[in-house]
């Protein structure tokens, strides 16, 4: 057995996740009342109380230095804790084990563990904690709302029901710069096709008065949305990483499958509900309307989410009611039109690809994000869902991108950073007018001038309508 040859690498993993309110157990002996949710649930009661008490102490201690900005994270050798106060006195805490390497010593028997403390970025995992709360709020409203409706007991029930499932979808080893941005990938369309979609949305909203907001997606990319940006950003994450991946395309289903195309009159269409009943003709069929809470002038609105999909196009309707009649009407009205629109978009997409010619492996990969409209584009990520994130570059390069992003966050001015990685890759970050661009270049023998010229060429070809300051 060769010494030093055998080693195991462990990625970041979730150790614990808990929510507490320090005002709920102010006296000695009542500490357990502060804890509203704790994962894993089989942890001994005294250990839960001890861990929550430690977090309280850290927050209070850091407040002595800056009362308005308490602690956001605590670094230790083995793990890292992240603190977030989404509502007054409600604290969400996530504890993540640091990535580590397990090495076999020279004797071939004993093992040494090396914790890689610097491999984790606070910005990435802090964003994951905020996403957890935002996703809860989308489907349940605020913590305060549950308290008003049914007190601490109702809040604890809602937290248990939601986070028991949601935490299973957290794959922290896949978290990266895209979690910090929380952006939306937009589908590029010509004006005529975009007008057809706008016309479709207007007709459906006029015909079905229950609809308050509509969103239209194609190939997991957004084309149209009537929602506020922050609501759409979290709904988009739910649709693309949870709801859509759970459903296969109906046209790929077998003839006897309940997902096969519906026939309305003489028109065949591939429409079906992703939220709702499988069979509208069965009055006994159970159907689920997910309840969502979106921003409104006087706080928030409680709506129901109906998602209807035809081929690769999906129409999301947020309705102020719960009606099987709505489903029947929308299936008849939306299904055929959505199928035709999906066909038009697919045809245009195919033509555009044919005009642009065969795709060659570029010498650069990039991530682009616009803070104003949340537009996000990445050629680094091949596929990103809640369970997997496949990137085409080494994790060390992703870490450099995260470090550059942290530098950008510290200053308001526009700037540019160029880094030469140990692996001979060049990494370039540009921040200009609320936009950020990160480029990875595979040019070992290039110099700074050549790298700068290559990035300018990329901006001219990929972002010709966007002005980047030089």
Q: Give kind and range of the element (H or E) at residue 428.
A: strand 426-432
Residue 249, pLDDT score:
44
Please write the tens of the pLDDT for every residue from 457-469.
888 777 766 656 5
Contact 337, 240 (CB under 8 A): no
Cβ-count burial 411-450 (b if 16+ within 10 Å, e if not)? eeeeebbbeeeeeebbbbbbbbeebbbbbbbeeeebeeee
Contact 74, 80 (CB under 8 A): yes
Residue 210, pLDDT score:
86
Distance of CA 104 to the CA centre of its chain: 38
What whole-number distance in Å separates Cα of residue 256 and Cα of residue 309? 19
Residue 277, pLDDT score:
61
Residue 207, pLDDT score:
86
Q: How far is CA 393 from CA 174, 398, 427, 439, 459, in A?
A: 13, 7, 12, 11, 20
- Top CATH class of 191-255+266-356 equals alpha beta
Residue 362, pLDDT score:
60
Domains 191-255+266-356 and 364-463 agree in fold: yes
Q: Minimal CA–CA distance to 419: which of 400, 437, 444, 398?
A: 400
Residue in this structure with the two tokens 């001979």, named with its chain if needed:
424
Contact 215, 200 (CB under 8 A): no
* Domains of the chain, residue spans: 7-175, 191-255+266-356, 364-463
Please write the tens of the pLDDT for every residue from 162-178.
999 999 888 888 889 99
Tokens coding 196: 């057809």
Which portions of the chain are predicted below pLDDT 50?
1-4, 249-267, 386
Secondary structure percentages of the chain, helix, strand, coil, to 5:
40, 30, 30
Residue 422, pLDDT score:
82
The CATH T-level fold of domain 7-175 is Beta-Lactamase (3.30.450)
Phi, psi (5° rounding) for residue 198?
A: -60, -40
What whole-number distance in Å separates Cα of residue 106 and Cα of residue 348? 62
SS3 label, residue 73: strand
Residue 433, pLDDT score:
84
- Which pTM does this prediction carry? 0.87
- Top CATH class of 364-463 equals alpha beta
Contact 30, 138 (CB under 8 A): no
Residue 243, pLDDT score:
84
């Amino acid at each position: 057995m060769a010494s030093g040859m055998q080693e195991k690498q462990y990625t970041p993993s979730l150790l614990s996740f808990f929510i507490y309110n320090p005002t709920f157990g102010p006296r000695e002996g009542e500490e357990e009342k502060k804890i509203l949710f704790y994962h894993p649930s089989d942890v001994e009661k005294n250990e839960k109380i001890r861990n929550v008490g430690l977090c309280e102490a850290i927050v209070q201690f850091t407040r002595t230095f800056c009362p308005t900005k308490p602690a956001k994270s605590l670094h230790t050798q083995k793990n890292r804790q992240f603190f977030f106060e989404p509502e007054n006195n409600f604290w969400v805490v996530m504890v993540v084990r640091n990535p580590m390497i397990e090495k076999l010593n020279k004797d071939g028997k004993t093992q040494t563990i090396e914790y890689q403390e610097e491999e984790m970025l606070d910005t990435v995992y802090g964003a994951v904690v905020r996403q957890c709360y935002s996703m809860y709020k989308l489907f349940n409203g605020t913590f305060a709302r549950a308290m008003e409706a049914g007190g601490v007991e109702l809040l604890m029930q809602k937290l248990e029901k939601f986070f028991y499932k949601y935490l299973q979808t957290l794959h922290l080893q896949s978290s990266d710069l895209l979690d910090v941005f929380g952006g939306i990938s937009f589908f590029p369309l010509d004006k005529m096709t975009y007008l057809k979609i706008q016309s479709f949305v207007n007709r459906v909203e006029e015909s079905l008065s229950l609809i308050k907001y509509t969103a239209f997606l194609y190939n997991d990319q957004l084309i149209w949305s009537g929602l506020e940006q922050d609501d759409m950003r979290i709904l988009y994450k739910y649709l693309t990483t949870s709801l859509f991946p759970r459903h296969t395309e109906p046209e790929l289903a077998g003839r006897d499958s309940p997902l096969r195309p519906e026939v309305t009159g003489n028109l065949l269409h591939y429409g079906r509900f992703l939220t709702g009943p499988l069979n509208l003709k069965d009055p006994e069929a159970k159907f689920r309307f997910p309840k969502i809470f979106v921003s409104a002038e006087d706080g928030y609105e409680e709506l129901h989410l109906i998602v209807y999909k035809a081929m690769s196009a999906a129409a999301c309707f947020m309705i102020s009611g719960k009606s099987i009649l709505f489903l029947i009407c929308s299936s008849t009205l939306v299904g055929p039109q959505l199928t035709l629109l999906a066909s038009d978009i697919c045809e245009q997409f195919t033509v555009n690809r044919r005009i642009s010619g065969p795709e060659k492996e570029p010498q650069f990969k990039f991530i682009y994000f616009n803070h104003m409209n949340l537009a996000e584009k990445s050629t680094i990520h091949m596929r990103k869902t809640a369970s997997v994130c496949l990137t085409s570059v080494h994790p060390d390069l992703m870490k450099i991108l995260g470090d550059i992003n942290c530098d950008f966050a510290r200053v308001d001015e526009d700037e540019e950073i160029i880094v030469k990685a140990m692996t001979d890759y060049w990494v370039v970050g540009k921040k200009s007018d609320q936009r950020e661009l990160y480029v990875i270049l595979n040019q070992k023998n290039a110099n700074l001038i050549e790298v700068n010229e290559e990035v300018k060429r990329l901006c001219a070809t990929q972002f010709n309508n966007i002005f980047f300051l030089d």
